[in-house]
Structures are given as C-alpha cells and as structure tokens.
A and B are shown apart, each in its own frame.
Chain A
Amino acid sequence: MSSSVPYDPYIPPEEPASQSKAAALKAEIDDTVGIMRDNINKVAERGERLTSIEDKADNLAVSAQGFKRGANRVRKQMWWKDLKMRLCLVLVVIILLVVIIVPIAVHFS
C-alpha cells in the first residue's frame, strides 16, 4: 500500500457525454424542484397573509364607514346648530329693532 490511492478494483467507467448531460440535467431539475418547493411554501405563507389582509381591509372598511357616519352626523348636527344660531341672531336683531323702533314710534306718535 505504498500508493496513496487505495486499491479499488472497480473503476467506474468514465461517463459518456450524453450521460453526463443527463446527469447535469437531473441536477438542474432537482435544483429547480427545490426552488419551487420553497416557492410553494412562500405562496402558502403569502396566501395566509392575504387572508389576514382581507380581514384587515374589512375592518378598515368598517371603521371608515363608521367615520363616515360620524362625520355625517356631525355635519347634520352642525347644520342644525348653525340654523339655530341664525334663528337666534335673527330673533335678537328683530328684538333689537323692535326695542329701538317701538320707543321711537311711540315717542313721535
């Protein structure tokens, strides 16, 4: 056993070109399959995420709707307030006018 290479009676024949081609092909395909497996996992995860997004989007829609209703309510409220304010002002002006005009009219008549 002087040689560094251990004796091996079976020396594999050198691979013919087409076989090596096939082997390369196989390796590549295995690689691809591995990548695709990863991809499948990713897609599955993404699917979960998308579902949760759907939920959240629903929530968002609900709260946006709530906001909208609230805003509408406030708008109407404000409008009434505005109306009341105006009425009050008009009333006050009228009263003032009455207060001013009536004594003058009484005074000159």
Chain B
Amino acid sequence: MGIKKLFKIKPPEEDTLEQNRETLNEMGISTRNPSKKKREKFAAYGRFAKDKAQDRVYAPEGYENFTKPQEEDDLNKSELDNATPNAESKGGGPQSADPYAASAGGSDPYAINTSANYGADPYSNMPTNNYQGTGYSENSYTSSGPSYGDPYQAPNGYSSAYSGINGAGNVTSPYGASGSNMQDQNRPKVNPYGGGNFRDNSYSDRSSSRTANTTSNPYGGLNKEQDEYSRSGSFPKSSKQPANPYATLGTDVYASHGVQAGQDSQSKNNPYSRRNVNEYGSATGNEMRTGGAPRRRMGRPDMSTNRLTSTKSAADTLDLNKSAVDGDDLNEEPRAGEFDFEEERPSYGENTVGVDELDLNAPLNEQDQQNDFNSTIADHQEQLYQEAPQWQLEDEGLSQSEYTQHNQGAYKTFDELQREEEARQQQEEDEAVDEVKQEIRFTKQSSVASTRNTLKMAQEAEMSGMNSIGLLGHQSERLNNIEGNLDLMKVQNKIADDKVAELKKLNRNILAVHVSNPFNSKRRQREREEKIKNRKIEEKLMKEHTSQQLARSTQRIEGAMNANDDINTVREKYQRKQILDRSKQFQFENDEEDDMMEVEIDRNLDQIQQISGRLKKLAMATGEELDSQQKRVRNIEDNTDDLDIKIHLNTTRLSGIR
C-alpha cells in the first residue's frame, strides 16, 4: 500500500511487559508480581543439586562438539523471552548473595582436606577419622560428613544436633589434619609396615636422622614420617584423655594386638615425648641389655605370669620397645631369657615383637583391616613372619651361648628338673589361655571396629537421606511455583477467551449494530459482577490449594529433618551396669578395657538403631512426599494439557478474526 510508505505510519509498538502488566492490573486482572520474592526454605538444596548435577551426554570419540545443542534461531523469539524474569535463576537464588555458594566454592576446610587426602592416599584420612573417632564415635560424623562433600552440612540447621560434636571435632581436627597431611606427603614412599627397617640403624644413626632427616639418610624420610605420624597420632589422644574415659579403649583398639595394657597407658601418658623416649631408650636400653637381661633370666618363671598380667616390668621394657629402634634389642632380651624354658615357642616372642613393631603403625593396620579389604590380616601376618626368621637366627645364636653359659658349672637336681617341667607346663597352659584371650580380644576389637564402621556408614546414609529429602523439598517449591504460574495462566486465558469473544462480536459487519436490550441493563450488570466475583473466588481457591500443598509438603520435610532426637548420653550412664551384666557371657576375665569395649559396642549399636529408626522415618517421609508430588505432577500435567488445548482454541478463534 502506497499510503503506508508515503506517510510512514505504522501501528504502535507492542507494549512492554511492564506496561502490559500495568494495564492488566488497571483492568483488575491478576498478574504475577515480579518484585515479590517468595522465601524458599530449601533454596540451598537447589544450589546443591545444581552443583552436583552433571549433564551426561554420550558421544563417540571426536564427536564431542556435536553434543552441544546447536544454537538455532528461535523463530518465536520475542522480547518476552528475555524480559521474563527466569524462574530458574530466581529459584537458585542470586548467585553472589548465596552464602552457601561461597562455602561450596571451596572455603570449607574439611572439604578440601578430605578431597585432597582421598585423592592422594587411601589411608591418610583414615587415621584422622580414627583419632577423632576414638571415644567420640560421633566425630566420625564430622569427618565423614565432609568426605561426603556436603558443603551445606553446617549451615543448614538440621544438623544442629551434631553441631556440638562438630565443635569437638574441630578441636582435634587440626592435629588430625596436620597428621594426615604429613602422611599425605610421606606415605607413598613408605611401607607402613616397614618398622623392620629401623633395626639395622644404630642409635647414632637414628638420632642424627632425627636431627637432620632431610639429609642423605635414606631412612630419614621414614623416621620423619614415623615421628610425625606417631606424634600426630598421640596428640589427639592425649587431648582426649582427660575428657574421655574411652581414650584407653580408643588407643588400645588400634594400638595393640597384644595384651600390653600397661604399655599402652604408658605410651599414652607421654605422647609428647617420642623423642625423649627414644633418647631414653638409647641410653637406658643399653643398660637394660646389660643389666636387665640376667635379671630377666633369673626371674623367668615370674615373667610368664608377669606377662600375663602385664605388670609394670614387662610394660616398662615394652614401652621402650615402642620406639622402633630399640625394639629389636630389648625384645631380644626377654626372648633370650625365655629361651631357657620355651625353645619351641618363639611365637609369643614374635608376637610381642610384632606388636611392638606395629605399635606405631597399628592404627593404620587396623584401619587397613577395616577399610581396605584388599589387605587382609594375612598380609599383615606375612609381614611378621618375614621379619621373624632373622630374629630367630639371632636369638638362637644368642640364646645358645647364653644357655651354655647358664648351664655351665651347675648340675640340676631331679626336683629342680621337675619344678622346671612344671613351670614349663604351667607356662604353656598360660600361654594357651593367653592365646585364646588374645583371640577373644581380637574378635572384640574387630567387632568394635565394625560397629564403628557401621555407625559411620549409617550416619552417611542419614546424611544423604537428608540431602535427598531436602532436594525433594526444593523440588516441591519448584512445583509450587509451576502450579502458581499455571493457575495464573488459567485465569488469564479465561480473560483472553472473553476478550476474543468480544472482539469477534465487535468485528461483525459494520451494519450489524449490536445494541443490547436497554431494559435489563441492571440485571446484566449484576450478572457481570457475579461472574467477576466467582472468577476471583475460584482463583483464590486455586491459590489456596496450591499453597496448602506446599505447606503440607514443607511441613512433612521439615518434620523429617528435625526428627533427630538428641543422642542420649545420660541413659548410657545408668545402663552401663546392665550392659556389662548382659555382656558377661562374652567376656573372659574382663578388665576395665574390656568393659569399655563392651560398652562401646553397645552404645554404637544403640546409636545405629537410633539412626536406622530415623532413616526409616526419613524413608517414609520421602515416600509420602514422593506420593504427594506424584499427584501434583500429574495435576500439573493435566492442567498443562488442558491449557494447551484452550490456548490453541483461542489462537484459532483469533485467526478467524479478519
């Protein structure tokens, strides 16, 4: 048309979204209020999910770039698309303002720590776990939580029940962390069982390597590592000792296979003096070698009982043995003495030596057995046996000479022989008993460990259950958002319907003048008002229904999340006796430590039970929530279909208008 070009006239531009909204509001049609932001309780979980989510696309090699959706020109693109405040971005929360985003970004010390450790060394964070977890078995929660990688753990209120324990974990964790880091650096080079290496080192070597272990001494690294390890191990222990009655148990479980309770307490009492012990060992160890050995040989029959009851004298030497250097020397002594009586039983000696050897590493070994199923106990034993022959050889040489010395110039009477025989039998019996006891102990330790492990896993499971229910909560909020929008669409669609009908009516032939009956205008007015009212009421109902659904689901989820009852510590105090009575049948000559273990097993079981109860509740809540969401989703689906059809109808009607 020429006139158009001539006058350069064209229809006015489309209203912008804001203008449109204004006009609609003026007309009394409800619109979405963009300035009003609904408070989302589970927004953090949305963020969490977004961080976790990974877009998985499958592509053969070399075709990866085709996996990206190609940017095609959207023919339907309009400014509305850009102008619409995107629901998703709104839902995720403003990124910069999100406090959880920052913590997710990596300022979480736990997260970094554990992730680094996990990557580098499977053992490294286990000891930290272990040390934090001794006694406070809840602590494994704190260390396992981060390993789960949940940055929202602390900020979200639901873990408040554990926050106190978190604090406890924080107190010890610096040590644990540093220890694990040290290990992290050193560990790959080092055989954790390589205590045997030290036996070739002289004292001077040892001490020099201590002072300058960055120098060329090949064992310097090892020493350092051992040192660091032992120190880092013992710090938490010592810090825990006053507060925690289970410290004995805690250290013991992982620190010894044998029966040297005294030794453990000793080692626990001077955790700071690793070096001192060593120096002391180098000084006094020699003394003991010269002076202690004969005494020992003399007092041999006593020694057997001594060892069973693990009295001080045994513990003393064994304590010295703990410093790995001294280990062989001092250990030879008792065995050299023993040899008089029990040539055929080097196994016990071996065992003690092995234990002493392993003391420093013991936490690791235990952890290996627990967590690393590849390294079995057999490995560990093998190690022992590999080391054994050398000593045996030495022993034999030593003991034979000593034996001859001992026997020279002294005849034995029959009584003496008999007594000796009796003593030997006695000792054998004692040792058999001892072995069984050890076995009992070992089993008990492993059951403590396994309950602990189970507890940890249960806590992790609870954690992830919480997370998933939180995600469900977030999704329920999103669903609510969708529902609200759909309701709005419905209302507006109805209005559009009316408008289209009106337009159609007005667009009839110009000659067909439509004048309504002037006599019932009042009635018509009333009808119109009624209609508007009804529509509004309907809208309100819809809204109410939607928000009710949301409220219910939120309530359900919050209920599930806040269900953690506080851990009952008082109960244990009163039930302790009962527990011990009950566990009498599993105990043999129970000592304090044994009781501790029983109590811990029981407590762990209790906690696992509590957690499993909570897990069940969580699972049920999740199921309910899923059901309700299923219903809502179905509703949304139906509504969407409905609306789609209606809009399509409107569009066709509109296109009929010419």
> Taking beta carbons and an 8 Å cutoff, which residues of A are in contact with B?
16-18, 21-22, 24-25, 28-29, 31-32, 35-36, 38-39, 42-43, 45-46, 49-50, 52-53, 56-57, 59-60, 62-80, 83
Contacts of A53 in B (CB 8 A): 633, 636-637, 640
How distant is the Cα of A62 from the Cα of B613 in the complex, in angstroms? Answer: 48
From B609, B627, B647, B650, residue with most partner A Cβ within 10 Å:
B647
How distant is the Cα of A66 from the Cα of B654 in the complex, in angstroms? Answer: 10
Q: Would A50 and B654 count as touching, CB distance under 8 A?
A: no
Contacts of A73 in B (CB 8 A): 655
Given contacts A43-B626, A83-B9, is CB(A57)–CB(B640) below 8 Å?
yes
How distant is the Cα of A68 from the Cα of B76 in the complex, in angstroms? Answer: 10
Q: Would A22 and B605 count as touching, CB distance under 8 A?
A: yes
Residue of A nearest to B620 (CB): A35
Contacts of A43 in B (CB 8 A): 626
Asked if B657 is an interface residue, CB under 8 A from chain A, the answer is yes
Contacts of B608 in A (CB 8 A): 25
Q: Would A25 and B605 count as touching, CB distance under 8 A?
A: yes
In B585-628, the 8 Å CB interface with A consists of: 585, 601-602, 605, 608-609, 612-613, 615-616, 619-620, 622-623, 626-627
Q: Would B633 and A25 count as touching, CB distance under 8 A?
A: no
How distant is the Cα of A35 from the Cα of B640 in the complex, in angstroms? Answer: 31
CB distance from A95 to the nearest CB of B (A): 18
Contacts of A78 in B (CB 8 A): 503, 507
Asked if B200 is an interface residue, CB under 8 A from chain A, the answer is no
Q: Would B616 and A28 count as touching, CB distance under 8 A?
A: yes
CB distance from A46 to the nearest CB of B (A): 6
Given contacts A25-B608, A57-B640, A70-B651, is CB(A49)–CB(B602) below 8 Å?
no
CB distance from B605 to the nearest CB of A (A): 6
Q: Would A46 and B633 count as touching, CB distance under 8 A?
A: yes
Given contacts A25-B605, A60-B643, A70-B654, is CB(A76)–CB(B11) below 8 Å?
yes
Contacts of A17 in B (CB 8 A): 582
Cβ contacts B74-91/A at 8 Å (1 or 0 each): 001010100000000000
24 contacts between A and B (CB under 8 A): A16-B582, A16-B585, A18-B583, A29-B615, A31-B616, A36-B622, A39-B622, A52-B637, A60-B640, A62-B76, A63-B648, A63-B651, A66-B76, A67-B650, A68-B80, A71-B496, A72-B14, A74-B503, A74-B654, A74-B657, A76-B11, A77-B658, A78-B503, A83-B9
Contacts of B295 in A (CB 8 A): none
Residue of B nearest to A70 (CB): B654
CB distance from B554 to the nearest CB of A (A): 18
Q: Would B641 and A56 count as touching, CB distance under 8 A?
A: yes
From B11, B503, B629, residue with most partner A Cβ within 10 Å:
B11
How distant is the Cα of A24 from the Cα of B609 in the complex, in angstroms? Answer: 8
How distant is the Cα of A31 from the Cα of B658 in the complex, in angstroms? Answer: 66
Given contacts A28-B613, A49-B630, A68-B78, is CB(A39)–CB(B647) below 8 Å?
no
Contacts of A62 in B (CB 8 A): 76
Q: Would B619 and A35 count as touching, CB distance under 8 A?
A: yes
Asked if B12 is an interface residue, CB under 8 A from chain A, the answer is yes
How distant is the Cα of A69 from the Cα of B652 in the complex, in angstroms? Answer: 12
Given contacts A29-B612, A79-B11, is CB(A65)–CB(B78) below 8 Å?
yes
Across the interface, A32 reaches (CB within 8 A) one of B616, B633, B644, B650, namely B616
Asked if B634 is an interface residue, CB under 8 A from chain A, the answer is yes
Count, chain B residues at interface, CB 8 A = 47
Contacts of A45 in B (CB 8 A): 630
How distant is the Cα of A85 from the Cα of B277 in the complex, in angstroms? Answer: 109
Cβ contacts B1-32/A at 8 Å (1 or 0 each): 00000000101101000000000000000000
Q: Would B651 and A46 count as touching, CB distance under 8 A?
A: no
From B9, B583, B626, residue with most partner A Cβ within 10 Å:
B626
Contacts of B622 in A (CB 8 A): 35-36, 39
How distant is the Cα of A94 from the Cα of B612 in the complex, in angstroms? Answer: 91
How distant is the Cα of A50 from the Cα of B455 in the complex, in angstroms? Answer: 36
CB distance from A58 to the nearest CB of B (A): 10
Q: Would B605 and A65 count as touching, CB distance under 8 A?
A: no
Q: Would A71 and B11 count as touching, CB distance under 8 A?
A: no
CB distance from B75 to the nearest CB of A (A): 9
How distant is the Cα of A16 from the Cα of B629 in the complex, in angstroms? Answer: 44
CB distance from A70 to the nearest CB of B (A): 4
How distant is the Cα of A42 from the Cα of B636 in the complex, in angstroms? Answer: 17
Q: Would B637 and A56 count as touching, CB distance under 8 A?
A: yes
CB distance from B212 to the nearest CB of A (A): 54
Contacts of A50 in B (CB 8 A): 633
Question: Given A64-B489, A73-B655, list of 20 further CB < 8 A pairs?
Answer: A18-B583, A25-B609, A28-B609, A28-B612, A29-B612, A31-B616, A32-B615, A35-B619, A35-B620, A46-B626, A46-B629, A49-B630, A49-B633, A53-B637, A66-B647, A66-B648, A67-B650, A67-B654, A71-B496, A77-B657
From B80, B496, B616, B658, residue with most partner A Cβ within 10 Å:
B616
Across the interface, B637 reaches (CB within 8 A) one of A18, A38, A49, A72, namely A49
Given contacts A63-B648, A74-B503, is CB(A49)–CB(B634) below 8 Å?
yes
Residue of B nearest to A36 (CB): B619
How distant is the Cα of A57 from the Cα of B654 in the complex, in angstroms? Answer: 22
Contacts of B613 in A (CB 8 A): 28
Contacts of B503 in A (CB 8 A): 74, 78
Q: Would B9 and A32 count as touching, CB distance under 8 A?
A: no
Given contacts A18-B582, A74-B503, is CB(A42)–CB(B612) below 8 Å?
no
From B78, B601, B634, B640, residue with most partner A Cβ within 10 Å:
B640
Q: Would A63 and B623 count as touching, CB distance under 8 A?
A: no
CB distance from A33 to the nearest CB of B (A): 8
CB distance from A73 to the nearest CB of B (A): 8
Q: Would A71 and B637 count as touching, CB distance under 8 A?
A: no
